[in-house]
Amino acid sequence: MEELEQLECIIQNFTSEKKTLAIAESCTGGYISHMITNISGASKVFERGIICYSNQSKIQLLNIDSEIIEKYGAVSESVANQLAFNIRVLSNTDIGIGITGIAGPTGGTKEKPVGLVYIGVSTSEKTEVHKFEFKADRIIFKKLVLGKIIEFLKELEN
């Protein structure tokens, strides 16, 4: 099933379940929010999407601890965890998703290679972070991240 069809099903299910969603995007630059808002009726589910590309925006808009960024870097499990949790709490939604990574082709290191992404998923029950490495250009990278988020959202359907 194509991404938009999958998102449409998720939005329909979340609408009937009265579940809401907010997303904090760094390396995907708004792509995930864009794809969700391509679906009619998304406003019943999708509360907000914040593009927090810079470290300063993560700190100012989402209350990410600057010491965590200094210690672990913006691309880290800790930051993805805080992004997901904080966007959920600040938005008063059922689900929060936080995304941070290195889309490339520059910016990677041996420890944090191009294609590394952390996706945080937060609900009232738990917040967990998933780590992936995608060998792809920037556009395909974003599509692969979207695919993973679709998988996580499907798991949260009743």
Q: Which of 97, 100, 76 is nearest to 156 (CA)?
A: 97
> In the beta sheet, which residues pair with residue 75?
none
What is the residue-level pLDDT of the chain in tens, covering all 158 positions? 699 999 999 999 999 999 999 999 999 999 999 999 999 999 999 999 999 999 999 999 999 999 999 999 999 999 999 999 999 999 999 999 999 999 988 988 899 999 999 999 999 999 999 999 999 999 999 999 999 999 999 999 87
The enclosing domain of 105 has a CATH number of: 3.90.950.20
Q: How many domains does the chain have?
A: 1
Query: What domain range includes position 11?
Result: 3-155
Structure tokens at 9: 């099903």
